[in-house]
Amino acid sequence: MENLPPDALLEVAAYFQALSEPTRLRILNFLRDGERNVGELAQLCGSTAANVSRHLALLTKHGLVERDSRGTSVYYCIADDSIYALCDLVCGNISRQMEQITKRRKAFARVA
C-alpha cells in the first residue's frame, strides 16, 4: 500500500469490501472446487438465485470471479487463485487470535 495514490487506495478498500460479506466468502469457497452456475451456488448457500446473482455481480465487478455464458446458463469461476492465499492468510490469523482468547479464558477460569 506504500505510496499508492488516493484513487488506488479507494480501489483496494472496495476490493476488501467485496470480501466483507459472509455469503460472498461462502461463494468463493464453493468455487474452489470448480466452476458453478447460479442455481448450484444458490442451493449450496441456502439462498435464492437472485441473492446469489447480486453477490456474483459484485465479485465479478471487482475481478474476483469470471463469468462464462453457455447457452441459457452462466457459469462462474475464480478469476485469480491468489484470492485463496489472501483468505487463508486472514483465516489463519483469526484462528490464532481465537486460540489465544480461548487460552486466556481457560487460564482465567482456573484462577477464579
Query: What's the pLDDT score for residue 103?
Result: 87
Q: Say whether pLDDT at 1 is over 90.
A: no
- The fold of the 1-80 domain, in CATH, is Arc Repressor Mutant, subunit A (1.10.10)
Q: What is the mean pLDDT of residues 5-30?
A: 94
pLDDT of res. 74: 93
What pLDDT score was predicted for residue 78? 97
Contact 62, 15 (CB under 8 A): yes
Domain ranges of the chain: 1-80, 81-112
Report residue 57 as a C-alpha cell. Answer: 455481480
Residue 19 reports pLDDT greater than 70: yes
> What predicted TM-score, i.e. pTM, was given to this entire model?
0.82
In this structure, what is the dihedral angle of CA atoms 26, 75, 57, 38, given to the nearest 10 degrees?
-60
Structure confidence at residue 107 (pLDDT): 81
Q: DSSP 3-state assignment of 21?
A: coil
Query: What is the average pLDDT score of the chain?
Result: 92
Per-residue pLDDT tens for 74-102? 999 999 999 999 988 998 899 999 999 99
- Element spanning 80, H or E: none
